Structure 1
Amino acid sequence: MGPGFLMSIAYLDPGNIESDLQSGAVAGFKLLWVLLLTTIVGLLLQRLAVRLGVVSGLHLAEVCHKQYPKIPRIILWLMVELAIIGSDMQEVIGSAIAINLLSVGRVPLWAGVLITIADTFVFLFLDKYGLRKLEAFFGFLITIMALTFGYEYVTVKPSQSQVLTGMFVPSCSGCGILQVVQAVGIVGANLSPHNIYLHSALVKSRQINRANKQEVREANKYFVIESCLALFIAFIINVFVISVFAEAFFGETNNQVVQVCKNSSFPRSDDLFPDDNLTLAVDIYKGGLMLGCYFGPAALYIWAVGILAAGQSSTMTGTYSGQFVMELPFALIPILTFTSLRPVMSDFANGIGWRVAGGILVVVICSINMYLVVSYVQGLGQMVLYVVAALISVAYLSFVFYLSWRCLIALGMSFLECGCLVSVSKVLLKEEATSSHQ
């Protein structure tokens, strides 16, 4: 136990929490099935990361360093570092917002950012006393998130029938472009590329006799079981957040929120919501204040504690994964490539089903990325940004094509090697049988 719970923090960072609350506010319970499906896909990707680290004894960054030429290695490294920076920005700001809420506005956001940066490095020193202690600390933070967001769930009392329907009936009747973008946002928030690098490195902390195939097979099995448990807990916490905002704030307008806050004894939200009948726009900060207005100050402060735990833990894991990526590292295509190669994975290489499913997933993820870019640029409506986005998209797709091409070549060579070995084995067996007969 341990690596899977550190990995699951990426599914609970402030970016995910904000995606959850926005999903609940704009689509009600209708997108819970997207969260469930995305969590399952995430589990399949983490399974590949586990197998690579357990079987090869190398994490993904190390395998990329060995297998790719220099220029693609550098491009990979830069792309993953940018992903970590973008993710860390959300996490640090999320922690700063939580500190601001807990201090009743006395600690400004810039000071909260500095506090978060400082205590992140302090907590990471736990690693010097053993990874197990760091894993236990992360388990404590996940427990805090489960208790705080669970409290909000119990307080708001969402409709259980609507929760189950939204989770297991894949439909979105009456959904418009806003809900579609939110569904895409759920996918993007949960599938973090740096998390694959992190998980493939964390499993190396356990001693495994890789010369013993039964021991390797057993390690793979128990790491996947642990990942299932960790992601199930993360999924439940995300369901708590979506359901709370779906029950309390779906269909609400700014005017309705303003009226409730004016009538409450909670004075801190007067200037945040315009007094109009437009659909409510919410984020982590506004969400906390709304909970305070509707359900009392306790709901606000408990929400802030949960956000602080989410921000602190995810900032630390982001920084931690950055250490492995710096040894060198896009994650999906490399992990699919290397876990399918027999020279790397031996008898534990992916079968044809995993290869086909992975290829489909690559296409889906790239399509989602391009859709998000187009939607964002259209929203800004500036021609210069259209040109910049087009150039970046061409470069992005070109590099994806390069990685995919190398993946196909590597898989083809692996297939030919396997075919040749089978043919040679048949010849040797035939000769042995003939010799034995003579």
Structure 2
Amino acid sequence: MSIAYVDPGNLESDLQTGSKTGYVLLWLLLLTTLMGFLVQIQSAKLGVATGKHLAQHCREQYNIVPRLVLWIMAEVAIIGSDIQEVVGSAIAISLLSGGRVPLWAGVLITGADAFVLLLLERFGVRILEASFGIMIAMMGVSFGIMYWKADVPTNAVLEGFLIPRLPRKDVPTAVALVGSLIMPHNIYLHSALVQSRKAFSTTDDCKKEAILYFNIESALSLLSSIFINLYVVGVFAHGFYDMDGAPEEIGLENAGKYLGETYGHFMVVIWALGLLAAGQSSTMTGTYTGQFVMQGYLDLKIKPWVRVLFTRCVAIIPAVAVAMYFDGAGLGLDHLNQSLNLLQSIQLPFALLPLLLLTSSVDIMGEKFVNSTLTTVATSSVAFLVVAINAWGVFEAVVTQEIIMNSRILVTLVTIVVLVYLNFLLYLVYLAYGRSCKAVLQRLLDRHSAALPEEKEKLLPEAMQDMQSLPAST
């Protein structure tokens, strides 16, 4: 689960945040990670309490049309994440080889290594998890060394964490940051992974204990991710924000070059190792998520290698095309990565709102596991913030594109797409809260109806006594 918070898409967003905004958005990094923790808690609770993951519930709760839309959105998010993993690993291979391996070749190499990682699963899940742990530790050490060598000012970091600011020019970067941290495919993944643990039984007390330990595990994982993301933001903010001679644009593709010019070749190697670990560790998460999503929505089971072949082919085609077109001379892969972060942010409500619907339903979760009023308010606030940030980001992106604003046809098309998007979100909101309100009203009516016979039995003797006490008519 924690790998999704430190994958190449996150690193791209981190260095963009640091190089373009300095330390200004560190508070948003912390806030988004906390929101992500709340979402992961809900995802784990759904899997433990019901014994089913999010995709399975969506198949059961939604009609055919919204179910297919949600499935397509989930697949788009997974493929987008896989493209980022391929791009990040390819850039790392190119850096470690000193440029002798071109980017397009690195993309092809990365496309094949997922099958190697599948072999680790045959030795047991623990071996696979241990390999993930080693890669995350490798990232922490690598980026920690970068942070230490760069001598990032502590006062500026603390100010960025403690003083919330969001200049209008930084809105697209903020939207991409949110999209890179709270990823839709990770919500599906976590609700399924918790079921691989057979340590808890079917009793409510054991489930509550399991949820507690999963929450602790999530908290520790996300705490480590905060430090890794902070290291990257801090290094690029200190080295490249508002500096004379800094590149006009910087991304994963040319970050190694400028790190070498600023801090020496040693930093290039450290950066490449951390980037490679991020790309490789996130490879299997996409494969697992794809299996769960396809199995849950379509009730279709396919072999892991077939799933890897499908997703990797879809991911490699645009990555190879961009890599060959720019041939390492531009920032084409980085622009692709940034666009995918925005895409992840736009896709997020399609996983988040169904999760809120399910965890707020007493019929699905049961009396002991359904969201409390406080939890419902907190999760609803997260959903509202995500949708609001997305809307703001889309508005800024459209308004700043002259080619769109100068064409009535394009403006009309964008307006139609936005309206369809918002209407479908409103439909999901209605399902999430309309059903909950109906269920609450129905329970109140049932209780009131059940209480009526008892009230009649109490009132009838009193009425008889009152009638007997009346004076007789003459």
Normalised TM-score (structure 1): 0.86
How far off its partner does 1:429 sit? Answer: 9.8
Counterpart residue number, 1:91: 85
**Equivalent residue in structure 2 for 1:335, among 340, 355, 358:** 355
Counterpart residue number, 1:354: 375
Change (3 A) 1:210 1:162: same
Q: Decide whether the 8 Å contact of 2:256 with 2:272 is kept in 1.
A: yes
Q: Decide whether the 8 Å contact of 1:97 with 1:285 is kept in 2.
A: yes
How far off its partner does 1:321 sit? Answer: 0.8
**Equivalent residue in structure 1 for 2:170, among 152, 165, 179:** 179
How far off its partner does 1:336 sit? Answer: 0.4
Counterpart residue number, 1:404: 429
**Equivalent residue in structure 1 for 2:270, among 302, 316, 320:** 302
How far off its partner does 1:183 sit? Answer: 2.0
Residues 326-362 of structure 1: CA deviation (Å, up to 9, x unaligned):
1235111110010011111111100122222323322
Counterpart residue number, 1:368: 389
Distance 2:145 2:42 in 1: 35
Q: Decide whether the 8 Å contact of 1:12 with 1:310 is kept in 2.
A: yes
Structure 2 letter corresponding to 1:336 = L
Change (3 A) 1:381 1:204: same
After superposition, where does 1:63-74 map in structure 2 within 5 Å? 63-74=57-68
How far off its partner does 1:165 sit? Answer: 1.9
Are 2:249 and 1:281 aligned? yes
Q: Decide whether the 8 Å contact of 2:147 with 2:235 is kept in 1.
A: yes
Counterpart residue number, 1:292: 260
How far off its partner does 1:319 sit? Answer: 2.2
Is the deviation greater in 21-30 or in 69-78?
21-30
Change (3 A) 1:209 1:240: closer
Are 2:336 and 1:316 aligned? no
How far off its partner does 1:132 sit? Answer: 1.8
Residues 170-218 of structure 1: CA deviation (Å, up to 9, x unaligned):
235xx4x332322222112111111100000000001255531111110
Counterpart residue number, 2:21: 27
After superposition, where does 1:29-428 map in structure 2 within 5 Å? 29-171=23-165, 175=167, 177-207=168-198, 209-253=200-244, 256-257=245-246, 280-329=248-297, 330-346=350-366, 347-382=368-403, 383=407, 384-419=409-444, 422=447
Q: Decide whether the 8 Å contact of 1:43 with 1:228 is kept in 2.
A: yes
How far off its partner does 1:296 sit? Answer: 1.1
Structure 2 letter corresponding to 1:361 = V
How far off its partner does 1:246 sit? Answer: 1.2
Counterpart residue number, 2:342: none
Structure 1 letter corresponding to 2:270 = I
How far off its partner does 1:367 sit? Answer: 2.4
Structure 2 letter corresponding to 1:370 = A
How far off its partner does 1:26 sit? Answer: 1.7
Counterpart residue number, 2:339: none
Residues 64-95 of structure 1: CA deviation (Å, up to 9, x unaligned):
11111111111100011111112221221111
Residues 245-300 of structure 1: CA deviation (Å, up to 9, x unaligned):
111111124xx24xxxxxxxxxxxxxxx5xxxxxx321012211111111111100
Q: Secondary structure at the match of 2:282?
A: helix
Counterpart residue number, 1:266: none
How far off its partner does 1:427 sit? Answer: 7.9
Give RMSD over aligned pairs.
Answer: 2.3
The answer for unaligned runs of 5 or more in structure 2 is 298-349, 459-474
Q: Decide whether the 8 Å contact of 2:48 with 2:211 is kept in 1.
A: yes
Distance 1:211 1:421 in 2: 29
Distance 2:449 2:269 in 1: 69
Q: Decide whether the 8 Å contact of 2:91 with 2:253 is kept in 1.
A: yes
Q: Secondary structure at the match of 2:387?
A: helix
Structure 2 letter corresponding to 1:351 = S
Is the deviation greater in 189-198 or in 321-330?
321-330
Distance 2:70 2:385 in 1: 20
Is the deviation greater in 200-209 or in 59-68?
200-209
Change (3 A) 1:420 1:222: farther
Distance 1:231 1:341 in 2: 27
Q: Secondary structure at the match of 1:104?
A: coil
Is the deviation greater in 403-412 or in 49-58?
403-412
How far off its partner does 1:168 sit? Answer: 2.1
Structure 2 letter corresponding to 1:293 = E
Structure 2 letter corresponding to 1:165 = E
Structure 2 letter corresponding to 1:194 = H
Counterpart residue number, 2:471: none
Residues 106-150 of structure 1: CA deviation (Å, up to 9, x unaligned):
111111111111111220332233222211111111011001101
Structure 1 letter corresponding to 2:198 = Q
Q: Decide whether the 8 Å contact of 2:26 with 2:157 is kept in 1.
A: yes
Residues 25-60 of structure 1: CA deviation (Å, up to 9, x unaligned):
122112111100000000000000000000000000
Q: Decide whether the 8 Å contact of 2:171 with 2:393 is kept in 1.
A: no
Distance 2:414 2:196 in 1: 41
Q: Decide whether the 8 Å contact of 1:19 with 1:189 is kept in 2.
A: yes
Structure 2 letter corresponding to 1:202 = L
Counterpart residue number, 2:4: 10
Counterpart residue number, 1:265: none
Count of residue correspondences:
401
Q: Decide whether the 8 Å contact of 2:360 with 2:371 is kept in 1.
A: yes
Normalised TM-score (structure 2): 0.80
Distance 2:50 2:455 in 1: 33
How far off its partner does 1:232 sit? Answer: 0.4
How far off its partner does 1:412 sit? Answer: 2.2
